[in-house]
Amino acid sequence: MDRHIAPWEQGFQTVTAPPPAPPIAKLPPDPPGNPAWVKGVSGNPAGRPPGRPDKRLLATEEMLTEMRAIVSVLVGKALEGDTNAASIVLAKVLPSVKAQAEKVQFDLDTDAPISDQVASVLDALAGGLLAPDVARLIIDSIARLADVRATEELAARIEALEAASDARG
């Protein structure tokens, strides 16, 4: 029995995939540097003429002269009572004061479990031996140390597993 062919199926042919293209060969990497450059040969054998000033040095000296004038004007205005000028001068002359934690001493067993170490820091805080910001710094340091110890422990376990795997295989 002949199968009825729908109008959109007329002239239909199965298409096969084309054969795969051959792999593209990799080109060797370019040698480093400029191939036109020859070792020991200068593009300017005479070099910079003696006594010729550097352009950057000239620009810096010019700016330095202008800066001296600006600073003298700022200092003059600050001495006249201009608070903005005074704050600019003081900000550049005096170093900014940075907060610094005070040195503390208390008992801390670094070989104890992490939770015991944190508990001893909290006990020192409650006893007034530590300021809250210092206690936070110490607890953060303990947490970072715990992360480092965990990483070292994982590395040791991985090495042991690899050694056991090599011994079997």
Encode pLDDT of 59-91 as tens digits: 898 888 888 888 899 999 999 999 998 988 888
Same domain, 134 and 163: yes
Long-range contacts of 110-119 (CB under 8 A, 24+ apart): 114/142, 114/143, 114/146, 117/142, 118/142
Query: Above 80 in pLDDT, residue 115?
Result: yes
In a domain, 8, yes or no: no
In a domain, 107, yes or no: no
Q: Of the ranges 4-8, 71-75, 110-114, which one carries the lowest mean pLDDT score? A: 4-8
Domain boundary among 63, 93, 123: 93
Nearest to 138 by CA among 150, 128, 149, 125: 125
Query: Above 60 in pLDDT, residue 1?
Result: no
Same domain, 121 and 156: yes
Same domain, 124 and 89: no
In a domain, 42, yes or no: no
Q: pLDDT at position 103, please?
A: 80
In a domain, 141, yes or no: yes
Domain range holding 146?
114-168
In a domain, 139, yes or no: yes
How many distinct structural domains can be found in the chain? 2
In a domain, 13, yes or no: no
Question: What is the value of pTM for the model shown?
Answer: 0.42
Q: How many residues does the chain have?
A: 169
In a domain, 103, yes or no: no
In a domain, 70, yes or no: yes
Same domain, 123 and 89: no
